[in-house]
Amino acid sequence: MSDAIEPKQEQPRSVVLDFDGTVTESDLLDRIALEFGDPAVYQEVEDGLHEGRLPLREVIVREFVPVTAPLEEVVDWVLDEAQVRAGFAGFVRGAQTAGWDVHVVSSGFEELIEPVLEREGVEVELHANRVDARAHGWRVEWRYPDDCEECGESCKRSLLPAGEVVYVGDGYSDRCAALASDRVFATAGLALYLTEQGKPFEPFTDFHALSETLVA
């Protein structure tokens, strides 16, 4: 018999970050749909989303149909325009060193997110949709499971890791996952929604502040 203490089986703890409008200062997915697509289509489907007539999946699929620019052109635009919130790379490294798994969960496209993460020099678990950038209209390859038990949509909740989850987000696609998380940092529309729902959250400003709260 050994006196060695069994290593305690610790629950994983994860920070789950939305990408557009959370890691980045502005929602690039929206801006691409507007600048490279058709503003009338964009407005029509966004109105449908906010009036509860259209699921998010259909909104994103439809707003990228009028986008016909080559992928490389849009990636170059993204790299010019994508400003990450202050302290992003330092936060990811500090959190990982402190034992957090860091995930990015996005309704956007891997093809547009990976170049930004690479530029920032961070390695995270990325869960996102994909896009086939066809010359006669981009075709979204939706990856999330359909019919979430809670919201009925194809949503991020099913991708939340096991164990303790801290969720950080700003928008519609974060709602259901945020309600299922242990601790939430929210800004913009997500903060309004959680206030209406009576779900406690802390305000999200930038990654320096998040580091001070979670890592320091």
Chain residues in the site for Mg ion (CB under 5 A): 18, 20-21, 170-171
Task: Pick one of Mg ion, Zn ion, none as the site partner of residue 191 (Cβ within 5 to 8 A by kind).
Answer: none
* 148 contributes a contact to Zn ion by CB under 5 A: yes
Between residues 20 and 153, which has the closer beta carbon with respect to Mg ion? 20
Binding piece for Zn ion, criterion CB under 5 A, among 37-45, 59-67, 131-139, 153-161? 153-161
Q: How far is CA 119 from CA 14, 41, 153, 173, in A?
A: 23, 32, 32, 25
* 56 contributes a contact to Zn ion by CB under 5 A: no
DSSP 174-200: GHHHHHTSSEEEE-HHHHHHHHHHT--
Residue 124, C-beta contacts closer than 8 angstroms, at least 6 positions apart: 17, 92, 102, 103, 104, 117
Between residues 89 and 148, which has the closer beta carbon with respect to Zn ion? 148
Distance in Å, CB of 179 to Zn ion, minimum: 8
Between residues 18 and 63, which has the closer beta carbon with respect to Mg ion? 18
* Chain-centroid distance, C-alpha 115: 15
Q: How far is CA 172 from CA 6, 21, 127, 155, in A?
A: 44, 11, 17, 10
Between residues 80 and 149, which has the closer beta carbon with respect to Zn ion? 149
Task: Pick one of Mg ion, Zn ion, none as the site partner of residue 151 (Cβ within 5 to 8 A by kind).
Answer: Zn ion
Between residues 68 and 199, which has the closer beta carbon with respect to Mg ion? 199
Alpha-carbon distance of 20 to 128, in angstroms, equals 11
Give the footprint of Zn ion on this chain (CB under 5 A). 148, 150-151, 155, 157, 176
